[in-house]
Amino acid sequence: MRIALRLIPGLWLALLVAAPLALVGVMALSWQAEGVPPYSPPWAGEGTNPENLRLLAEDPYYRDSLGQSLLVAALTAALCLLLAIPMGIAIARAGKWRNALLGAVLLPFWTGFLIRIGAWIGLLRDEGWINAIIRGLGWTDQPLHLLYTHGAMLVGMVHAYLPFAVLPLFAAATRLDPLLEQAAEDLGATPGRAFLTITLPQLLPALAAAFLLVFIPAAGEYVIPELLGPPNATLVGRVLFQEFFQSRDWPVASALAVALLVLLIGPIILFQRLGRAA
């Protein structure tokens, strides 16, 4: 029984993590081919293919997609933090409203993800609600192009990932002693100074955790840039999709996926260290 209990997570990891990872790794070293599946593995006679990885290093299109993705993910995480710091602290100090406010943060999860993105499209498009209000106020006759911009993409990203930043900050803020800020003020610190010197430093591990909790999944995001972002936002998720389903170049797509994973290993390890320290 005990052995079986221990085997289950091992089996799970082997089947759903290790096996797909190995498959992607093999594909990254394979040759593109006609047929199903559209690649021939290294043992099919042609040997390993170093071209895919070299292409990633040399072709600025792929390099840029990785760079853009990391930049958008970092920007998303930073914006999420800016919103999540006051939210987390306010919810932790909300007394009897605490659970209701926490519920409100999690409420978006109760509706479908695509429906929420659809709602943003409805708000932002040229004939959407925001433009209708602006026109109604008579500010302009020409609609503002809000949808398919970097702004719309970031709004969507922040909207989708904000709860992941709020939760760790809320948890850390509940452990703060509110008397410490009072003690700081008693010693001559203005309320702002007390926040910067006393509260914020104590939240530092949670801030780092919240940042990475958003940054890591946001780096591989495909749906939001595709539905809200501009056509020139060639993030790694979109390039992956194009290579897999339009160019049918599975080996290059796999190599790109491996590259993203390698780039994210550092932050992931950092996140786990912080988790153990907290």
Partner 1 sequence: MTARLSLRGLTRRFGSVAALDGVSLDVPAGEFLALLGGSGSGKSTLLRVVAGFEVADSGTVHLDGTDLSGVPPHRRPVNMMFQSYALFPHMTVAANIAYGLRREGRPRAEIADRVAQAVAMLRLEGMEARRPHALSGGQRQRVALARALVKRPRLLLLDEPLGALDANLRERTGFELRAIQRESGAALIMVTHDQAEALALADRVAVMDHGRLVQQGAPREVYDRPATRFVAEFLGAANVLEGRRTPDGALECPAAACTLRPAAPLPEGVTAVALRPERIRLAPAKDDNSAAGTVAEAAFRGESSLLLIRLAGGALLRVSHAEEDGAPPERGTPVRVGWDADAVVPLHG
Residues at the contact surface with partner 1, assessed by CB under 8 A:
177, 179-180, 182-191, 193-194, 197-198, 201-202
| Nearest distance from C-beta of residue 125 to partner 1, angstroms | 48
Judged by CB, which is closer to partner 1: 59, or 177?
Answer: 177
Least CB distance to partner 1 at residue 187 (A): 4
Least gap, CB of 199 to partner 1 (angstroms): 10
Sign of the four-CA dihedral 99, 104, 106, 107? positive
Considering the complex, state which of residue 89 and residue 146 has its C-beta at the smaller distance from partner 1: 89
Residue 185 Cβ vs partner 1, minimum distance, rounded to whole Å: 4
- Give the residue with the Cβ less far from partner 1, 63 or 193: 193
CB nearer to partner 1: give 114 or 180: 180
Of the pair 111, 182, the CB lying nearest partner 1 is at 182
**What's the closest the beta carbon of residue 85 comes to partner 1, in angstroms?**
17
Round to whole Å and give the CA distance between 264 and 258: 10
Identity of the residue, 124 or 206, whose beta carbon is nearer to partner 1 in the bound complex: 206
Quickly list DSSP for 131-172.
HHHHHHTTS-SSPP--TTSHHHHHHHHHHHHHHHHHHHHHHH
Instruction: For residue 102, give every residue at least 6 positions away whose Cβ sits within 8 Å of its Cβ, in sequence order, or none.
Output: 91, 170
Least distance CB 114 / partner 1 (angstroms) = 43
Q: What is the DSSP letter of 245?
A: I
Distance CA 158, CA 97 (A): 24
Cβ closest to partner 1, residue 64 vs residue 181: 181
112 SS3 class: coil
Is the separation of the CB atoms in 260 and 177 below 8 Å? Answer: no
89 with 171: CB under 8 angstroms?
Answer: no
To partner 1, the closest distance from the beta carbon of 136 in angstroms equals 45
Q: How far apart are CB 271 and partner 1 at their closest, in Å?
A: 21
DSSP H helical ranges for the chain: 2-13, 19-28, 51-58, 60-92, 98-106, 113-124, 129-136, 150-174, 178-186, 191-194, 200-219, 223-228, 236-241, 250-277
Q: Which is nearer to partner 1, 15 or 278 (CB)?
A: 278
Rounded CA-CA distance 114/121 in Å is 10
Contact predicate 255/245, CB 8 Å: no
Would you call 77 exposed, middle or buried from its count of C-beta atoms within 10 A (0-12, 13-18, 19+)?
buried
